Amino acid sequence: MEKESCCPKFVPAPWDGRLFEWKDKKFVKDRVFTLFNMPVNFSAVMKRLDAKIRKGGGTAPGGVCLSDHTSKWNMDVYLAVDRDIPGAENTTISGKFFSKVYEGPFKDTGKWCKDFEALAAAKKLSVKKWYMWYTTCPKCAKKYGKNYVVILGQV
C-alpha cells in the first residue's frame, strides 16, 4: 500500500493570474531558520504547527502556507486556519492580492520574481508585500511530478 502524501495535491487554476481580497483571513504564524534564504527547519516548524492546530480542534483548509522571507536567516510562515488556535501565534491578513503560479525547480525563483514584477506592472498593480507559497514539500512534489510555487503580492 502506498504511503499517503503529507501535502494535498495542488490545483493551480484558482491561483494563477488572479486578483482576490482577504478580509481578516485567519493564520497561525511561526518562524523558520534559513541559511542564505534556504529553509533549515521548515519540516519541524510545520509539524509543530500541525500539532497545535490538531490539539486546538482546528484545520488548515487548502494547505495555504505563506512564506515571508524577512532576511537571509529567517522566514516567517503563515498557515491558514479555520479558527483561533490556543497556544499558537494567531494573526489575520487582510487586503487585495495578485497571485501567479509557477512550476519548476526552486533555482528558478529569481526568474519567477522578475516575471511576477513584470506581470504586476503590466496590470498597473503596485506590490506592497510579497509572499511565497511553496505548495508541496519536496517528497510530495516528486510524487505528484510538479513543484508548484505561488507568488502572492499584496497590491
Strands 148-154 and 65-71: unpaired
C-alpha distances (whole Å) from 102 to each of 9, 80, 120 are 15, 21, 15
- As a whole number of angstroms, the distance between CA 126 and CA 62 comes to 27
d(CA 68, CA 80): 14
| pLDDT at residue 6, rounded to an integer | 77
Looking from the CA of 85 toward its CB, the CA atoms found within 13 Å total 29
Alpha helices in the chain (DSSP H): 42-55, 109-122, 138-144
**Half-sphere exposure at residue 20, Cβ-oriented, CA atoms within 13 angstroms:** 12
Q: What is the pLDDT along the chain (155 residues), one digit of tens a residue?
A: 345 567 888 999 999 999 999 999 999 999 999 998 888 898 899 999 999 999 999 999 888 999 999 999 999 999 999 999 999 999 999 999 999 999 999 889 999 999 999 999 999 999 999 999 999 888 889 999 999 999 999 99
**Structure confidence at residue 38 (pLDDT):** 84
φ, ψ dihedrals at 143, nearest 5°: -60, -45
At 2 the pLDDT is 45
Q: Please give the Cα distance from 114 to 95 (Å, whole number).
A: 22
User: What fold does the segment set 15-154 form as a domain?
Assistant: Multidrug-efflux Transporter 1 Regulator Bmrr; Chain A (3.20.80)
Alpha carbon distances (Å) from 1 to 4, 139, 142 = 9, 17, 18
CA distance 83 to 56: 9
pLDDT value, residue 127? 96
Instruction: Give me the residue spans of the domains in the chain.
Output: 15-154
pTM of this structure: 0.91
Residue 1's pLDDT is: 36
Dihedral sign from CA coordinates of 86, 87, 91, 97: negative
Report pLDDT for 4.
58
